[in-house]
Structure 1
Amino acid sequence: MKNLMTYDLMETARNTNEWLGASARALAAYPIFGMVPSPMVNLTAAWGAVTERAFSRMVAKPAWGIRTFTGEDGRDHLVSIETLVDKPFGDLIHFKVSGRKPCKRRILLVAPMSGHYATLLRSTVKSLIVDNEVYITDWKNARDIPVSLGKFDIEDYTLYLVDFMRYLGPDLNVIAVCQPAPLTLAATAYLAEEEPEAQPHTLTLIGGPIDPDAAATEVTDFGRRVTMGQLEHLAIQRVGMKYAGVGRPVYPGLMQLTSFISMNADRHGKAFFDQIVREAKGEASESDAHNRFYDEYLAVMDMTAEFYLSTVERIFKNREIALNEFTVAGKPVDIGKITRVAVKTVEGANDDISAPGQCIAALGLCTGVPEAKKASHVEPGAGHYGIFAGKSWRNNIRPLVLDFIDTHQGLGGPKMRAVSS
């Protein structure tokens, strides 16, 4: 009961700040204040607008906003999102491009479940959709999932990936971004042993903690400092009365967001102060750089407690993937069983979340993969987000990944398969 009340207290604080922002903006809009030549009126309205927007975004799932693009044929093609597999904790979706023949390159993007929605990869999707068939894992907010639908931990996550890859068929290239890299590697190994013909052509792992001890960061140090009991006591709460998942134990998105912001509090504080000034001067806009970034950054989702705790314990503390000791439903998963899949790792030289060395460890685990089918890349000057978004991704990493896929992809059409519910 205590944890449920704490969850509702956080939501109350968020709701109150959103209301204060809306109230300040509305108050400053009264015509009578037009007679008062004071910059404080404009600043009050600006503070209200920025505050209301920031706190309202914390509980809203961002839209993909990918409606159209101009193809190589010079025509505008409409993009629609179709759900191929609908499961309780996450869907497999496809960005369907109208008026275009299916592309030979079929890419499954495995999005992180680390506090943000899959829309965090919006720019990645936009860059790939031009000349690829793009599919993505769209994880659901744990607060909206009734307790009656059961648990969801890293083993369930791995089996979801197995189902998605099995459904899409072997004529596939998988790109895992950040957090899911270890579990995507495990899912591929699981398929290699259970259903070898369902393996993808290529597997690209971008900035993931395959071996967290290979290069220490603040994230890995935190995992070492706290015990699992302390972590459960400090981080886990139960979803409050407002949502369908009431009573479900979760690591709340609002708590995660507090941690994200506290790591760079000065920078975020300055960004919001500058935005308030721009708003007061009339220089801000609906889709300016600040709003584009923070509309996504502030939109957080709850993770199930079992997923968060099992990630910390089994991936970071016990290093089950790094030591090739991971099990799924009691069955050992041997990464050495991967033999046909070409594997590439991508790291950012300035990544302070998953530092260089953590991801490339995957190549050492893939003992069954010939050296000719392995590759790695460290992007100079790139931080964690730069390796899948921004100019480093667009100009350097994306071309390298697509060249790797083209080198190792076989021929053949898509083969859809049934998926378990």
Structure 2
Amino acid sequence: MRLMASYDLMETLRTTNQWLGASAQAMGAYPAAALMPNPALQWLAAWGEVTERSFSRMATKPDWGITTVVGEDGRDHLVDIDIEVNKAFGDLVHFKVQGREEMPRKVLLVAPMSGHYATLLRSTVISLLPDCELYITDWHNARDIPVSEGKFDVEDYTLYLVEFMKHLGPDIHVIAVCQPAPLTLAATAYLAQDDPKAQPRSLTLIGGPINPDAAPTDVTDFGRSVTMGQLEHSMIQRVGFKYKGVGRKVYPGLLQLSSFISMNAETHATAFSDQINRAAKGEASDHDRHNKFYDEYLAVMDMTAEFYLSTVDRIFKGLEIAKNEFVVAGKKVDIGQITNVAVKAVEGEKDDISAPGQCVAALDLCTGLPDSKKAFHLEPGAGHYGIFAGKSWRNNIRPLVLDFIDENAG
């Protein structure tokens, strides 16, 4: 019950702050308040507006918000977001463009399961959709998955990717962003051993911790500084009675969010203070830069305890991918068995999550792959977010990735 009480306490604090924000906003909106113009009341209403919006977003999965795409004919085409494969812990989603012939570039975008929804890659999807037949992994919030569905750890995650790749066929090109990079590499190696004809044509790994020890960061330092017992005791909770996954052990999204914010607390505090002042002056808008970023950033999801703990234990502490010792369903996965899948690693010079050196380690593990099938790009001045969704991605990295796909289209 201790674990469940902790989860419900966090949810109670969230809803309380949401209520306080809504109440303050309502008080500032009373018609009587307009009879006595007072900057303090305006500031109170602005604080309430920003606070209510922020805490309500923490419990809401963002919408993709992608309705149309411009085709080669210059016309807007409607986009249907269809579930191609439905599974308990995640779906394979297809962005199907109406009235457009299937694009020759068939791309599977592997989204992270590290506390945020797949919609974190919305801008990445928007940038690729005009040129690709695009699919994405859409992972589910663990709090909404009944305990009866069983466990979900790094091996299950890898097997999900194997199933998705087999479903899409061997003419796909896979792009893995951040957290899933090592497991996507393992899934490709699994196919190389188990079903070579089902391997993708190319694999692009963007800012992923293939070898976390290659370049230490705050993330890797934290993983080394705590024992697995300490981690389980302090980070794992049971889903409360409010959700379908009641009783399931999870690493709560709210806990992950507090960790994210604490890493740059001063920056976030300034951003929210500035937004409150803009709202008080009437300068804030529903889709301004602040709201556009934080509506997504604050929307967090729970991870299963097994996935979180096995990621820390096996990927960061045990370095099973980096040492080529990863085992899936009792079968050792040999990355050296990848012999005809072109592999590209992309890193950002100023990435403080997966520092330069961590992702490019994948190329050394691909001992069976000729140098002509390997590629690497280090983006100058780019941080972690910029290499898959920012200006660096749009202007530099995306064209390079598309060229890499075309070069290895078979």
TM-score band w.r.t. shorter chain? over 0.9
Matched residue, 1:417:
none
Whole-angstrom CA distance in 1 between matches of 2:147 and 2:390: 38
Whole-angstrom CA distance in 2 between matches of 1:365 and 1:30: 64
Matched residue, 1:118:
118
Counterpart AA for 1:326: F
Does 2:336 correspond to 1:336?
Answer: yes
- Aligned pair count? 410
**Structure 2 portions without partners, runs of 5+:** none
Residue deviations 1:356-410 (CA, integer Å, cap 9, x gap): 0000000000011110010000000000000001110000000000001100112
Matched residue, 1:135:
135
Kindly state the Cα deviation for residue 104 of structure 1 after the two structures are TM-superposed: 0.2
Whole-angstrom CA distance in 1 between matches of 2:375 and 2:322: 18
Matched residue, 2:402:
402
Matched residue, 1:276:
276
Whole-angstrom CA distance in 2 between matches of 1:222 and 1:277: 35
* Same amino acid, percent of matched pairs: 74
Counterpart AA for 1:254: L
Higher mean alpha-carbon deviation, 188-197 vs 65-74, is at 65-74
SS in 2 for 1:313: helix
Whole-angstrom CA distance in 2 between matches of 1:136 and 1:354: 22
Whole-angstrom CA distance in 1 between matches of 2:408 and 2:71: 25
Kindly state the Cα deviation for residue 28 of structure 1 after the two structures are TM-superposed: 1.0
Whole-angstrom CA distance in 2 between matches of 1:144 and 1:54: 21
SS in 1 for 2:102: coil
SS in 2 for 1:42: helix
Does 2:351 correspond to 1:321?
Answer: no
Whole-angstrom CA distance in 2 between matches of 1:311 and 1:107: 25
Residue deviations 1:62-118 (CA, integer Å, cap 9, x gap): 000000122221101111100010000000000000111000000000000000000
SS in 2 for 1:295: helix
Whole-angstrom CA distance in 2 between matches of 1:405 and 1:95: 19
Residue deviations 1:38-84 (CA, integer Å, cap 9, x gap): 11111111000000000000000000000012222110111110001
Matched residue, 1:194:
194
Matched residue, 1:419:
none
Matched residue, 1:297:
297
Kindly state the Cα deviation for residue 314 of structure 1 after the two structures are TM-superposed: 0.1
Higher mean alpha-carbon deviation, 32-41 vs 203-212, is at 32-41
Q: Contact between 2:69 and 2:97, CA under 8 Å: does it hold in 1?
A: no
SS in 2 for 1:104: coil
Q: Contact between 2:28 and 2:45, CA under 8 Å: does it hold in 1?
A: yes
Matched residue, 1:98:
98
Whole-angstrom CA distance in 2 between matches of 1:129 and 1:378: 24
Matched residue, 2:359:
359
Residue deviations 1:242-266 (CA, integer Å, cap 9, x gap): 0000000000000000000011000
Matched residue, 1:383:
383
Counterpart AA for 2:324: N
SS in 2 for 1:247: coil
Whole-angstrom CA distance in 1 between matches of 2:312 and 2:283: 43
- Write the mapping of 1:164-179 to structure 2, written as runs, cut at 5 A: 164-179=164-179
Whole-angstrom CA distance in 2 between matches of 1:74 and 1:283: 35
Does 2:146 correspond to 1:146?
Answer: yes
SS in 1 for 2:209: coil
Does 2:68 correspond to 1:68?
Answer: yes
Residue deviations 1:209-247 (CA, integer Å, cap 9, x gap): 000000000000000000000000010000001000000
Does 2:182 correspond to 1:182?
Answer: yes
Counterpart AA for 1:243: Y
Whole-angstrom CA distance in 1 between matches of 2:144 and 2:83: 18
Whole-angstrom CA distance in 2 between matches of 1:397 and 1:211: 22
Matched residue, 1:236:
236
SS in 1 for 2:367: coil
Q: Contact between 2:3 and 2:236, CA under 8 Å: does it hold in 1?
A: yes
SS in 2 for 1:404: helix
Whole-angstrom CA distance in 2 between matches of 1:151 and 1:287: 38
Kindly state the Cα deviation for residue 24 of structure 1 after the two structures are TM-superposed: 0.5
Whole-angstrom CA distance in 2 between matches of 1:62 and 1:37: 36
Residue deviations 1:124-167 (CA, integer Å, cap 9, x gap): 00000001000000000000000010000000000000000000
Q: Contact between 2:82 and 2:93, CA under 8 Å: does it hold in 1?
A: yes
Kindly state the Cα deviation for residue 341 of structure 1 after the two structures are TM-superposed: 0.1
Normalised by the length of structure 2, the TM-score is 1.00
